[in-house]
Amino acid sequence: MNIAGYIDHTILKPTTTIADIEKLCNESVEYGFAAVCVPPPFVKRAAAILAPTHVKVATVVGFPFGYSATEAKVAETILAIVDGAHEIDMVINLIALRQQDWSYLEKEVRLLVEVCHNKGKLLKVIIESGILTEGEIIACCQKLGPLGIDFMKTSTGYAEKGASVEAVELMRKHLPAGVRIKASGGIRDYAFASALVAAGAERLGCSASVAIVKGEPGHNTTGY
């Protein structure tokens, strides 16, 4: 399996530097990763570096807790697109989820889908599967999946539990066929990465990307 083509090479730590971003982008070109995922202030720089290449630029919105106002998420998304982002990874409002306020969540997702798709960009919706019940994961798939999202994503990488094969399998079972899955959080070796792909993930958010493609033990050094 060419695992590199599934990977969003990621650095989201709050102390990220320009040098970190340049290294991330150069590695993504060298190893053939699908995308980089960078903090919003670095989107413009990453887009400039990667403009001549196949590698896409992703960034995060409402990250990592998801409870930003919808208006703030829309503004973040618009700015990211202006700066050159191809893909938006947005954290849903977990407070609304725990209160089962599906009206709020559906309205928020519809707005973000519209903003992204009007500009030809992709929207990934992060549900933080590691801290949800099975019923909550299924409800996210059934209620948010049909709203036009491009991916449902397992995790931010900042909760106590990240991606799991079981969560990916559950999401694949209950999502519409056209919605892809991105697994992220705690993916540090080839065996786990390939198991997630076998379970149905079509993207992997990783900071240990180079170690994964080399088959070496990985370490979470970039906050993901």
CA angle 127, 216, 207 (to 5 degrees): 30
Q: pLDDT tens, 129-174?
A: 999 999 999 999 999 999 999 999 999 999 989 999 999 999 999 9
- Does residue 120 surpass a pLDDT of 90? yes
Tell me phi and psi for residue 76, to 5 degrees: -60, -40
Radius of gyration of the chain (CA): 16
Distance of alpha carbon 58 from alpha carbon 142, whole angstroms:
25
Instruction: Tell me: cis bond preceding 176? Omega within 30 of 0 counts.
Output: no
Give me the pLDDT at residue 215, please: 87
Distance of alpha carbon 47 from alpha carbon 156, whole angstroms:
22
Give me the pLDDT at residue 130, please: 96
Active-site residue set: 89, 153, 182
Q: What percent of the chain lies above the pLDDT cut of 90?
A: 94
Average pLDDT of the chain, as a whole number: 96
Q: What is the pTM of this model?
A: 0.95
DSSP helix/strand/coil, 152: strand
Q: Give yes or no for a contact between 64 and 156, defined as CB atoms under 8 angstroms apart.
A: yes
Q: pLDDT tens, 74-100?
A: 999 999 999 999 999 999 999 999 999
- Does residue 223 surpass a pLDDT of 50? no
Burial readout 25-60 (b: 16 or more C-beta within 10 A, e: otherwise): bebbbebebbbbbbbbebbbbbbebbeeeebbbbbb
Q: Give yes or no for a contact between 46 and 38, defined as CB atoms under 8 angstroms apart.
A: yes
DSSP 42: G
Fold of 3-214: TIM Barrel (3.20.20)
Domain ranges (residues) in the chain: 3-214
- Does residue 40 surpass a pLDDT of 60? yes
Task: Enumerate helices (H) and strands (E) in the chain, giving the number of each.
Answer: 9, 8
Q: pLDDT tens, 208-219?
A: 999 999 986 665
- Does residue 184 surpass a pLDDT of 70? yes
User: Tokens 């995922």 map to which residue?
Assistant: 37
Give me the pLDDT at residue 1, please: 80
- Does residue 222 surpass a pLDDT of 80? no
Residues 6+ apart with CB under 8 A from 193: 3, 6, 7, 187, 204, 206, 212
